Homo-oligomer: A and B are copies of this chain.
Amino acid sequence: MTTSKNLYGVILAGGAGTRFWPLSREMTPKQLLRVFGTESLIWQTIKRILPLIQQDQVCVVSNSKLTEEIRTHLITEKEPFDKVGYLIEPEARNTAPAIGLAAAYLSSVNPDAVMAVLPSDHLIQNPDEFLAVLKHAEKVAEAGYLVTLGLKPNRPETGFGYIKLGSSIDKLGNSYVSYMVDRFVEKPNKETAVSYLESGDYFWNSGMFVFKASTILDEIEHLMPGLHAVLTRFKDISPDEWSSERADQIFSEAEPVSIDYGIMEKSDKVAVIPVDLDWNDVGSLVAIGDFLARDERGNTTAGNIIDIESENSIIYGENRLVATLGLEDMIVIDTHDATLICPKDRAQDVRKIVDILKAKNADEYLVHRTMYRPWGSYTLLEHGPGFKIKIIEVKPGARLSLQMHHHRSEHWVVISGTATVTRGEEVFNVHVNESTFIPPSTVHRLENPGIIPLKIIEVQNGEYLEEDDIIRTEDDYARR
């Protein structure tokens, strides 16, 4: 398969994935989680399309906070993607404005651009089939259609919207047949879902679309003139400035609606290609049980688990021991700082817990303990009044920025590897089992000069211990 000259991948990655808490957090939403195999869902999403789309024609659309995390994530995976582009939405305003922005940008770069709009947090287990249909969809899109992929249902699912097929579009005859859309339907009740499954005319609305940038812009002009006006005003703002205050203000005028509601359900140019994909929307924690192996009693367990006689449950532990006894159809997610327990059939309500945490300003549970950085990672082990303890891992040859903190001292104990420490004017090595400390207001840098990872325990203390007490003087990764 060769890559297509005009095909662009537009990866929607702004989702907060609150239904995956406490696995997912604000800065580590579902698409960045690694629990579904060895790589994250967003990495898999990009990897999957590379046979057809050049890496530098993939752009990730997300918000300003998350984009930096996604970039770090994608360039630090074992197979790093460093040519991927990023489009930063000024603020999250649902899919129509986000796709509109991407379309405006891509059409300015390439008037013939065809966009494959793909969620970053779904799983597709048969990538070859997916690529074949995508290749076909590009042709249908080039003929002026807004193509949506309709997935063949294998169960009477009440959690998805459906698309009813209309007449077939014969002129594009191929191994795939495209159809006009008769109608989009909302999530049905069980009885209706069963009749849809039996009829064979209804397909799941996958949220995957393929269209020419110019086609969708025309339809936006026609069906969402307000959004079109906003996009027009973006013409003289380069993507680098999309997170500026000015861009923010313009974008906030865009009506926050989905592309389905705003365009697809109303346009007469919509085509659907029915396809049978081994696809999963990873819609709730229950999905973990769909991908990971089950034991003979139907349990999916990962981590340090002791179970006695539980059935059909998902039991996930990060590093502590989780002991379960006689559970049925339950979900247990035990992370470093928070544990979630609920019956499987309440998994959709996990977002309510996140809502409560937000309302309580319990921010500590909305971020993850381990943060990945270009130079390695740090993990918060413990915090209390006046202190924070982290374990910091620095990759061989990597170094942190030259930095300074006004409100804390840092004490470093090397537990593996060798550290080269810059402290004011001094530069010295600290070996395993040795320690040093950095007084407040002292410029310092931590570096791993060796060939094995450097691990240090850092004890911070002082009156103010937040991450924003940092002044970076020099940084290998151009961070501010």
Contact = CB atoms under 8 A, between A and B. Distances in A.
A293 interface: no
Contact of A326 (B308, B337, B342): B342
9 contacts: A22-B321, A332-B339, A339-B339, A382-B391, A384-B415, A386-B432, A387-B413, A411-B413, A435-B459
Contacts of A382: 381-382, 389, 391
B322 A339 contact: yes
A320 B306 contact: no
Interface stretch (A92-100, A294-302, A346-354): A346-354
A338 interface: yes
A199 to B, nearest CB: 34
Task: Count copies of this chain in the complex.
Answer: 2
A214 interface: no
A405 to B, nearest CB: 12
Interface in A283-336: 306, 308, 317, 320-327, 330, 332, 334, 336
Given A382-B381, A461-B433, A341 B350 contact: no
Contacts of A334: 339
Given A349-B308, A387-B415, A457-B459, A338 B321 contact: yes
A261 interface: no
Among A336, A349, A409, A457, residue most surrounded by chain B Cβ atoms (within 10 Å): A457
A342 B327 contact: yes
Contacts of A306: 353, 356-357
A150 B61 CA distance: 73
A450 to B, nearest CB: 16
A437 B459 CA distance: 13
Contact of A415 (B342, B346, B461): B461
B321 A337 contact: yes
Nearest to A439: B433
Contact of A387 (B339, B411, B457, B459): B457
A325 B339 contact: no
A22 to B, nearest CB: 7
Interface string A419-463: 000000000000011110100000000000000000001010110
B437 A435 contact: yes
Nearest to A336: B320
Contacts of A257: none
A265 B112 CA distance: 95
A409 B413 CA distance: 10
Interface in A353-408: 353, 356-357, 362, 365, 381-382, 384-387, 389, 391
A18 to B, nearest CB: 12
B323 A413 contact: no
A326 B339 contact: no
Contacts of A357: 306
A340 interface: yes
